[in-house]
Chain A
């Protein structure tokens, strides 16, 4: 399947990218007992491909039960359990399903993200793919989709727009300062994950997916590996407090440069890459010594005011006269002041990173307790920028705990122009959120690791396709949401809090 995007002739190609593991995990478990006579009835019946004949044609393969729709199949004419002539099949909830996930990323969200990354469509299994069960923020907000008769109240057109009419693209330079206009096709770009914190194939997969969707990914604070060069136009170079791997050429080769003042995972705290993860390659990239732990201080010791901050922005603008400047900050109580300060310092994009997100290892005390969730910060910043009369000159992007297409749409309805995604991309690469990113050789699943053997667990093409697929599924949901409000552009949704209801 190919998706044609509104503003450009290219196509994004959706191809199936199944799990790289032999036993994918699903919500249901289908068991075939030894009574099976390999008659192939189930394989003929199942429209979802749970039962497949082995290539030899002599026996039925082990059920691909992660595709099974479960008990809702009972009333269908193809319900294999009833149709099996020897009653060899049984169906149950997968016991692992019940041990999966957490309040923010529920089992349903992880499994549905996997399904979307595999197929590019939203999941056909009964999974709640829109919200988690954290009991607050995005998980309390719902869209107040208008019934047709109420449409006039919303001031919207009388007809539902076609999907082709709906645009999800946004512009990243609204200052009219002579620097290039940059448009991205989805209101999403990838968050900074450094070389060192994630493996090279992971980085490349993200970059390739960003290129396919005509959007961006970010280097994080770990230098700019040469392998990223083919994607220069879709990479954001991050300049963070440790200045690891930042060189003039890495600033000059990209279209956007991001200053990272703070990050949602550890607001107000410095970064720490454990010695184990500083391999020879990582050390070379960061111009450091292999095996010794690396600290990024907090804060920039050269920035203690908006004036200092302006000097920073001017410096980047001088080094690369064509670049847009993004400023990434966390969400303290005065985040609105910080945003306005960044505008006056000359930033094109202000990126607020809420405290519930983050991908890398961070102290547990920082995750829940420092800085506010992004759901509070977005409307606060949006309103303040409006009041200051500068809202339409700066792009507000939000991140930190956005897990689904619905979260993206909610963030935009609260006042953001676009969002930045980190964790969901990793989940698309089959992260299970075990949280052991930092220990030993790093991620056992080959994502957040620099161990050469473990890094090999991810093949770049496969990873890129998974992320491309995820965004295809998300985009179709975004389009669907916009259509139901009678909107033809994602830009119309911005700040429309009247489209949301708060569920008590």
Chain B
């Protein structure tokens, strides 16, 4: 049995007061000053006392973060002077895809390393577009089940990166004649992607790299952003470069275990004509470092299925398919969502009987632990995550950095002592949640989850089977 993988959480407080959802406001006018003030007696979370101590220490009042929304004070005040409000800043968090709930949940996980838990059932819409259209399955009585999180059964979340042979061949003397290509196992099916934006500094990148090595994952970094302090973490870094600059970054390629190449982009079908050229370039890199595994980075678009098929047949080891940070395809009108693209790619490779030979990484819009499980169900081997890493460092997705405005939470100023455990906590919480869903599904290996749509239920199927409704 492999050594049990576990990330020990190290609770790490936020540097800035986080934005909470609810708060109370009061009209002191009309206050009787009665001795039974709700502020003293009603709040079981002692928020009003905490506020007083904040004020005494001349610190800002944090009630919008502390309030747990029980309404006791509102309902018990003798004169009914208190009102509950929704913090306007809360509604401004994030955007249409990265909702305030996702951001708060990520902050919580980065701070505590724990699985978010709440009472009172599910509160959201019946179904929303995207990952929400998938339910994962569970095992019950008639199928074997696994006791995951509380740990009597070990559930492996390890995946392999690299090309695999479908079969081994032996000669007449039973000696192995197949040449097994290099591959690497990582203990969790995710790596860190480059960030679409962010108030980045070398310390931020260094902290992320350190977190990647701590949790046993890899981090993709643009070769031009590489700096010497990253050397100790190079074995966990994936330099990203365009194929023309292979010679320029020889030194990094020599040391790296995996590199990611951006093929020449001539637009549209152009890349297809260069399949041979890409494979040549990869060979060139392998001459610099024979143990190197190469990932090919492709944007998701309407040609993706075809391109992946071509590349997989030509011997590609890893293909990294990138959607935008909302999980949409990158071209034009009516973009497909990442789950549909990956399902298409996976099925095409399965039909061509070459799915097992190549590793598929999916990225873009992977915001929550369940998205990780669901994209693997759709057919990816693993995912690359981006914005959650930044949100772990308290990013509010205000996108000021895109306009060269100052970051409200000064991410460029973080220290590794703060940033590394925050990211590790988040990954630890995701890992625990992945184990929860795997256990519920009765699986002991995340590798068996790949493309396992039999352990998922899709909205369009259920609506059709139950109500005869066709969702287009």
Interchain residue pairs with CB less than 8 A apart (17): A22-B77, A23-B76, A136-B126, A261-B141, A268-B145, A268-B437, A297-B150, A298-B145, A341-B141, A360-B119, A368-B122, A376-B466, A435-B119, A440-B44, A440-B45, A444-B44, A445-B71
- Contact status of A370 and B437, CB under 8 A, knowing A134-B125, A401-B121: yes
Q: Which secondary structure characterizes the binding site on chain B? A: loop
Identity of the chain A residue whose Cβ is nearest the Cβ of B71 in the assembled complex: A432
Seen from chain A, the residues whose Cβ lies within 8 Å of a Cβ on chain B are 19, 21-25, 62, 95-96, 98-99, 102-105, 134-137, 139-140, 261-262, 264-265, 267-270, 272, 295, 297-299, 301, 303-306, 309, 329-330, 332-335, 337-338, 341-342, 355-373, 375-376, 379-380, 401, 423, 426, 431-441, 443-445, 448, 454, 502, 504
- Candidate in B83, B118, B127 with the most chain A CB atoms within 10 angstroms: B118
In the A-B complex, list the 3 residue pairs whose CB atoms are closest, starting with the nearest: A136-B126, A268-B440, A437-B119
Let me know if B450 is at the binding interface, CB within 8 A.
Answer: no
Alpha-carbon gap, A369 to B124, bound state (A)? 12
- Contact status of A370 and B120, CB under 8 A, knowing A96-B74, A440-B45, A444-B72: no
Let me know if B69 is at the binding interface, CB within 8 A.
Answer: yes
Residue of A298, A365, A431 near B120 (CB, 8 A) is A431
Residues of B within 8 A of A436 (CB): 68-70, 118-119
- Interface readout for B128-169 with A: 1 if CB under 8 Å, 0 if not? 000010111111111111011110100000000000000000
Asked whether, in the complex, the Cβ of A380 is within 8 Å of the Cβ of B123, the reply is no
Identity of the chain A residue whose Cβ is nearest the Cβ of B126 in the assembled complex: A136
Closest Cβ of chain B: how far from A269's Cβ, in Å?
6
Residue of A433, A441, A448 near B44 (CB, 8 A) is A441
Q: Told that A22-B76, A298-B147, A360-B119 touch, could you supply 10 new A-B pairs with CB distance under 8 A?
A: A62-B80, A268-B139, A365-B369, A369-B373, A370-B135, A370-B136, A371-B138, A373-B135, A375-B466, A434-B69
Asked whether, in the complex, the Cβ of A438 is within 8 Å of the Cβ of B77, the reply is no
Alpha-carbon gap, A140 to B69, bound state (A)? 30
- Interface readout for B337-375 with A: 1 if CB under 8 Å, 0 if not? 000000000000000000000000000000011100110
Asked whether, in the complex, the Cβ of A362 is within 8 Å of the Cβ of B119, the reply is yes
Closest Cβ of chain A: how far from B152's Cβ, in Å?
8
Asked whether, in the complex, the Cβ of B126 is within 8 Å of the Cβ of A134, the reply is yes
Asked whether, in the complex, the Cβ of A135 is within 8 Å of the Cβ of B125, the reply is yes
- Contact status of A502 and B467, CB under 8 A, knowing A96-B84, A102-B123, A368-B124: yes
Alpha-carbon gap, A463 to B141, bound state (A)? 37
- Contact status of A438 and B117, CB under 8 A, knowing A341-B141, A370-B440, A375-B466: yes
Asked whether, in the complex, the Cβ of B141 is within 8 Å of the Cβ of A364, the reply is no
- Interface readout for B245-271 with A: 1 if CB under 8 Å, 0 if not? 000000000000000000000000000
Alpha-carbon gap, A299 to B139, bound state (A)? 9
Residues of A within 8 A of B44 (CB): 440-441, 444, 454
- Per the 8 Å Cβ criterion, residues 422-459 of B in contact with A are 433, 436-437, 439-441, 457
Let me know if B304 is at the binding interface, CB within 8 A.
Answer: no
Asked whether, in the complex, the Cβ of A262 is within 8 Å of the Cβ of B466, the reply is no
Alpha-carbon gap, A272 to B126, bound state (A)? 26
Residues of B within 8 A of A267 (CB): 138, 440
Let me know if B78 is at the binding interface, CB within 8 A.
Answer: yes
Residues of A within 8 A of B176 (CB): none
Residue of A62, A376, A434 near B71 (CB, 8 A) is A434
Identity of the chain B residue whose Cβ is nearest the Cβ of A264 in the assembled complex: B121
Closest Cβ of chain B: how far from A473's Cβ, in Å?
21
Closest Cβ of chain A: how far from B87's Cβ, in Å?
10
Alpha-carbon gap, A165 to B137, bound state (A)? 44
Residues of A within 8 A of B137 (CB): 332-333, 370-371
Alpha-carbon gap, A444 to B139, bound state (A)? 35
Asked whether, in the complex, the Cβ of A309 is within 8 Å of the Cβ of B141, the reply is yes
Residues of B within 8 A of A362 (CB): 117-119
Closest Cβ of chain B: how far from A196's Cβ, in Å?
13
Let me know if B469 is at the binding interface, CB within 8 A.
Answer: yes
Residues of A within 8 A of B86 (CB): 98-99
Residue of B68, B76, B83, B140 near A439 (CB, 8 A) is B68
Asked whether, in the complex, the Cβ of B75 is within 8 Å of the Cβ of A23, the reply is yes
- Contact status of A104 and B440, CB under 8 A, knowing A335-B140, A368-B370, A444-B44: no
Let me know if B228 is at the binding interface, CB within 8 A.
Answer: no
Let me know if B116 is at the binding interface, CB within 8 A.
Answer: yes
Residues of A within 8 A of B147 (CB): 270, 297-299, 301
- Contact status of A369 and B126, CB under 8 A, knowing A299-B139, A436-B118, A440-B45: no
Identity of the chain A residue whose Cβ is nearest the Cβ of B466 in the assembled complex: A376
Residue of B69, B78, B80, B119 near A361 (CB, 8 A) is B119
- Interface readout for B372-387 with A: 1 if CB under 8 Å, 0 if not? 0110000000000000
Asked whether, in the complex, the Cβ of A401 is within 8 Å of the Cβ of B440, the reply is no
Asked whether, in the complex, the Cβ of B75 is within 8 Å of the Cβ of A435, the reply is no
Alpha-carbon gap, A136 to B116, bound state (A)? 25
Residues of A within 8 A of B134 (CB): 369
- Contact status of A365 and B370, CB under 8 A, knowing A332-B140, A436-B119, A448-B119: yes
Closest Cβ of chain B: how far from A261's Cβ, in Å?
6
- Interface readout for B106-118 with A: 1 if CB under 8 Å, 0 if not? 0000000001111
Residues of A within 8 A of B118 (CB): 361-362, 364, 435-438
Let me know if B85 is at the binding interface, CB within 8 A.
Answer: yes
